[in-house]
Structure 1
Amino acid sequence: MLLIIILCVVFALVVVMRATLVVVRVRGGSMRPTLFDGDLLVGARCRPCRTGSLIVFRSESSPGGRDSYLVKRVAAVPGQLVPLDFPELSDRIVPPEVFLVRGDAARSLDSRQLGYISISAVVAVTICGLIPFRRLAGKQSENDI
């Protein structure tokens, strides 16, 4: 009987965690030096987002013309001033229901090319990163191995 209760509790925890948490592997170098190719991130689906947060979002405008998921830093949230390094946008204030995002690397696919990112496209706000063993060994990316 005790085993059945323990298994039910474990099953319930797994279901709740899968509904609220996301694990994402970083691909590419647009978030260097913060994140490297192959790094793992844990994100929460229902966490509030603010300027500086790392988010995972669905992008319909990514290279190749297919949906993909991108990891970027929030540059501005609704109601904030549009940063000066977004000259392509004519608005002075970020409209409701959208974000501006930017990559940490100098050359990055972000809101300067994609424009505003809809709040509904956000999959998760990152909670923490999991450091792969290769990074602990001093390797920066899978290509360094």
Structure 2
Amino acid sequence: MYISVTQLAEKLKVSTSRVRFILGEGRIVGAFKVGNVWIIPVNNNGKIQVISGKRGPKLSWCKSRLKAQAKIHVNGQKIKQNRETGNNTPVITVKRGKTNEYCHQVDIKGPCKLIYKPSNPLKSGAQVWIETNSEIELICVGVKNSS
């Protein structure tokens, strides 16, 4: 597999001109030029073999930061309000970090854990919730407000 100069610059979190400079010095193993375009080979692990320079900082692959754990629960008070007023306000709460998002449906794209802790509820008072580090898709249906 091969990648471009721009893709390598994004992976290394450096400028494209810095990548071209390293390529010009011949420090990326197996890289070659076709016309005006550099072709950079990638090994099976998705890494590029870079020969260390004599001076300066070492090149490093930037590690992606872990997303905050999401906690998903159903707000029983909102269900009661919707029943009494006839509204369709979202009742599912997704808490990730310091943000709260409300929706009608949640699609979890990976593993999750369902937790019931009546002796140690969340700050919101929820005793049952889902925890996940996976990607989450929030789906909101058209909201009917009678105000």
> TM-score scaled to structure 1, two decimals?
0.20
More helix by share: 1
> TM-score scaled to structure 2, two decimals?
0.20
Bigger radius of gyration among the two? 2
